[in-house]
Amino acid sequence: MKNFFNLKSSSEVLALYEQFVPLAAENIDLISARGRILAKDIFSPEQLPPFFRSTMDGFAVRARDTFGCSESEPALMEMIHEVKMGHTSRDITLGPGQAARIWTGGELPQKADAVVMLEYTRDFDENSIAIYRPVVPGENVITAGEDYQKGELVLPRGRILRPQDMGVLSGLGISSLPVYQRPKVAVISTGDELVPADTPAPAPGKIRDINSTTLAALIAEAGGIPILCGICNDDFDALVDRSSKAIDQADILVFSGGSSVGMRDFTLKVIESITDAQLLVHGIAIRPGKPTIIARQHNKALIGLPGHVTSAIVIFYLFVRPLIRKLSGLCASHGLRMVRGRTTQPIASVSGREDYVRVQLTMARGDTGLEVAPLYGRSGLIAPLVDAHGLLPIGRDTEGLDKGSVVDVLLFPDEHHTGFNPSLM
């Protein structure tokens, strides 16, 4: 594999992810399924609900027996039964002029097709009730199979399971289901200058490892399982040994740092030393994050991220997150929500590359929409990212944006935790 530096566009990089396929499926219990991705279509094994149910407290009736009744001319009904909760009433059949007391969720007797709400009735004598308001067939009733008929598609393959999805599966008696395995993502931080985050007082020239913690959180948020492999100094043999062990237990290996063309940047050489590794990308026409490396070993990926924290985070969202989603059974996209706003000032860019600008969003005066303000700072600084709500993409053929330009912003996934309300767009 020849060492090269040939810039690819973002679309070209993402197109290469078609070479990867989702991981194998595994069966898990339903209670653990939230957020997992279905590995096959789920069809209803039965109808839901299984019987005609009342949605109100009142009286089950044949609707036609109530037609024409009113406050002045109530319909008198013989009450022949009380439907007790949890008991079937299939052996009870209503005849003309008959009714049955029923509670919310109760099963309707045979021939009953509507429920009169309790407040539109009153007792007439010990065995009869007076109804003051007519009902139509199906009123205050959920029919059998109204949610799902037997054999109907309930949830498609590739669905991210939500609490309500789990609820319907529970109602159908499905207690376990096949989901795609979660990708294991190993992280190796490289650099002689790095020390662990819990180091009390780093020596001169040393800095605490920010990227490992950040990447672990990003991996988990994207649906992967982070495996932190610690810090490796700029030692080729040590990095090869650490990398070989990491890729054996992971689906994706991420190197933090060491991806540029400097003399002591070993990531590319390490990838070249791994059996069956095929270099896909060495350089992306993007800022920040240009010296990104992506390689493939069968259905595993090796990704070299820039060492600067801003570059690493941006590249993660744009290229690592899509691959985690692809291996998880989703499409190879970042999956981030986009919101629209207007720029508060001109924003410079250079034609020939994509720029991703950190931005802060605020509500414009008069509720006229979102204002998009750039947050500038070198790629080695993390404070602008802490203050940012998302990333503003500027296309490779665009030479900057004017003040007041209408733009789309990629919103960071956890913005609802920061005080920013994206519903105010």
pLDDT (tens digit, 9 = 90+) per residue, 163-201? Answer: 999 999 999 999 999 999 999 999 999 888 889 899 999
Q: How confident is the model at residue 234 (pLDDT cuts 50, 70, 90)?
A: confident
Parallel, antiparallel, or unpaired: how do β-strands 194-195 and 277-282 relate? Answer: unpaired
Tell me the percentage of the chain whose pLDDT exceeds 90.
Answer: 73
Q: How far apart are CA 91 and CA 236, in angstroms?
A: 80
User: Please, what is the average pLDDT of the chain?
Assistant: 91
Contact 252, 305 (CB under 8 A): no
Q: How confident is the model at residue 415 (pLDDT cuts 50, 70, 90)?
A: low
Choice between 235 and 58, residue whose per-residue pLDDT is larger = 58
- pLDDT, tens only, 272-292: 899 899 999 999 999 888 889
Residue 367 has pLDDT above 80, yes or no: no
Tell me the percentage of the chain whose pLDDT exceeds 70.
Answer: 94
pLDDT on residue 2: 47
Contact 20, 323 (CB under 8 A): yes
Contact 145, 24 (CB under 8 A): no
pLDDT on residue 225: 97
pLDDT on residue 313: 93
> Average pLDDT in the 145-159 region?
96
Residue 54 has pLDDT above 50, yes or no: yes
The end-to-end CA distance of the chain, in Å, is 48
For residue 76, with 0-12 CB atoms within 10 Å meaning exposed, 13-18 middle and 19 or more buried, which class applies? Answer: middle
Q: How confident is the model at residue 262 (pLDDT cuts 50, 70, 90)?
A: low
Distances (CA, A) of 373 to 206, 385, 405, 409: 33, 13, 11, 11
Choice between 224 and 368, residue whose per-residue pLDDT is larger = 224
> Average pLDDT in the 190-215 region?
90
Parallel, antiparallel, or unpaired: how do β-strands 42-43 and 176-180 relate? Answer: unpaired
Residue 21 has pLDDT above 90, yes or no: yes
Residue 119 has pLDDT above 90, yes or no: yes
Q: How far apart are CA 335 and CA 141, in angstroms?
A: 40
pTM of the full predicted structure? 0.85
pLDDT on residue 365: 74
Residue located via tokens 């999805």: 165
Q: How many residues are listed for the chain in this entry?
A: 425
> Average pLDDT in the 98-103 region?
96
pLDDT on residue 303: 96
Q: How far apart are CA 24 and CA 32, in angstroms?
A: 18
pLDDT on residue 259: 60
Contact 112, 132 (CB under 8 A): no
Q: How confident is the model at residue 258 (pLDDT cuts 50, 70, 90)?
A: low
Distances (CA, A) of 15 to 11, 18, 29: 6, 6, 34
Residue 114 has pLDDT above 80, yes or no: yes
pLDDT on residue 419: 52
Q: How confident is the model at residue 425 (pLDDT cuts 50, 70, 90)?
A: very low
Q: How far apart are CA 253 and CA 294, in angstroms?
A: 10
Residue 334 has pLDDT above 90, yes or no: yes
